[in-house]
């Protein structure tokens, strides 16, 4: 019988410690500055590229870890450093996942390296799915992609919103409607190459948290891209649309996941790991503070009200990590998410991050409410985990529909 273990192996431990060191020595010292500036921390991204953390090779190695723990382990350590800077470092990964999940081998080999650039000239990429009227309801998407057969080009028009790296990216991955009558089954993903006319940045958002990560609208006005920029190719798209039309005529409901849903489903445990990293960081600050802060002649951790909070915080963080690890292992092992385990991990970890960071602020009292201590920033950052890549309400809907056997649209 194969040995069961929940310990990281020697290679994983070395990688974890290496990433943790970078987070402690490079990310944390810069966190407050870039949060205040609300700008992309290009120098930090470049440092990450120089040491090999911001690179296709690094993420490929973690992605293909046979245990499935490479990516969540890396996410937890980077986001332990700082959520805003870490999201700037890993934000390109969502676009890369979109290409990996839906693209051909040629597209993967051509476009993913251009998303990262080089250590001397770093680039970023953006995944553009949400729209002003289509966030959780991807079926309401309006951005259209029309095929110009005479020129073998696709023409894109629409507005995307909440795009990490939107407008400043070298490569944009855009989800658009190709057949409105098919709902979400009529969606496809497209690569918009660097410098393509018609793509521009709209509003840049000033956010409550993760302020070192660039978030903006992306406006598409008669954006023409080669036919080869349709992820997966036109033949595959035509086959998928034909199956969907046939099912629609027959009155059947085929569970076909659209391109955006496939990308989000693959990334949800990783988002859970990000939330675990932020929660763990806040817990550690609160624990150290409780051990050294004295009131009424003794450390405040001696007070049961504080000690029990810390006990609950640590328990919830460990439980969240286990859910993330389970979903990550299931994904790499090819186990189906029969109970929406991916959504479970994201839901629980994101809720834990909000709760734990709020408790950390409370334990630090007045100090926790000031920017002199990092828990104030961590609390602001944690709010995003229950919102992006599927709100907590959507995660509960996905879980409930999966348990009941209802289709997930």
Cα 355-360-362 angle, rounded to 5 deg: 95
d(CA 311, CA 307): 6
Residue 309 corresponds to which tokens in the numbers above? 């909070």
389 is catalytic: yes
From the list 47, 265, 341, 389, the catalytic residue is: 389
Phi and psi at residue 227, in whole multiples of 5°? Answer: -60, -25
Closest CA to 241 of 177, 191, 288: 177
What are the catalytic residues?
389
């Amino acid at each position: 019988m194969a040995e069961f273990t929940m310990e990281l192996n020697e290679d994983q431990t070395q990688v974890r410690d290496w990433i943790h060191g970078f987070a402690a020595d490079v990310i944390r010292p810069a966190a407050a500055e870039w949060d205040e500036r609300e700008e992309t921390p290009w120098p930090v991204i470049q440092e990450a590229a120089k040491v090999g953390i911001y690179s296709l090779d690094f993420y490929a190695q973690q992605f293909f870890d046979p245990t499935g723990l490479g990516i969540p382990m890396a996410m937890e350590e980077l986001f332990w450093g700082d959520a805003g800077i870490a999201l700037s470092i890993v934000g390109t990964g969502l676009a890369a996942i979109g290409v990996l999940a839906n693209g051909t081998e040629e597209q993967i080999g051509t476009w993913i390296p251009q998303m990262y650039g080089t250590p001397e000239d770093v680039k970023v990429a953006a995944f553009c799915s949400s729209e002003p009227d289509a966030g959780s309801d991807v079926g309401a998407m309006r951005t259209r992609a029309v095929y110009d057969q005479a020129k073998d080009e696709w023409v894109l028009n629409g507005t995307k919103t909440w795009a990490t790296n939107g407008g400043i990216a070298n490569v944009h991955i855009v989800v658009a409607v190709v057949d409105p009558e098919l709902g979400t089954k009529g969606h496809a993903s497209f690569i918009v190459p660097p410098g393509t006319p018609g793509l521009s940045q709209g509003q840049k958002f000033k956010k409550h948290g993760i302020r070192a990560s660039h978030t903006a609208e992306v406006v598409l006005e008669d954006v023409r891209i080669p036919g080869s920029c349709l992820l997966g190719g036109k033949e595959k798209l035509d086959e998928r649309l034909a199956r969907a039309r046939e099912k629609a005529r027959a009155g059947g409901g085929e569970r076909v996941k659209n391109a955006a849903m496939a990308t989000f489903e693959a990334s949800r445990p990783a988002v859970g790991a990000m939330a675990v990293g932020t929660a763990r960081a806040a817990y550690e600050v609160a624990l150290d503070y409780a051990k050294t802060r004295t009131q009424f002649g003794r450390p405040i951790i001696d007070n049961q009200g504080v000690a029990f909070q810390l006990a609950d915080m640590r328990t919830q963080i460990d439980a969240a990590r286990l859910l993330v690890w389970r979903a990550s292992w299931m994904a790499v092992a090819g186990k189906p998410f029969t109970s929406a385990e991916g959504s479970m991990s994201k839901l629980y970890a994101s809720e834990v991050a909000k709760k734990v960071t709020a408790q950390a602020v409370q334990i630090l009292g007045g100090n926790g409410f000031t920017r002199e201590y990092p828990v104030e920033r961590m609390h602001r950052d944690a709010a995003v985990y229950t919102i992006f890549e599927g709100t907590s309400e959507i995660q509960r809907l996905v879980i409930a529909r999966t348990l009941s056997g209802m289709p997930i649209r």
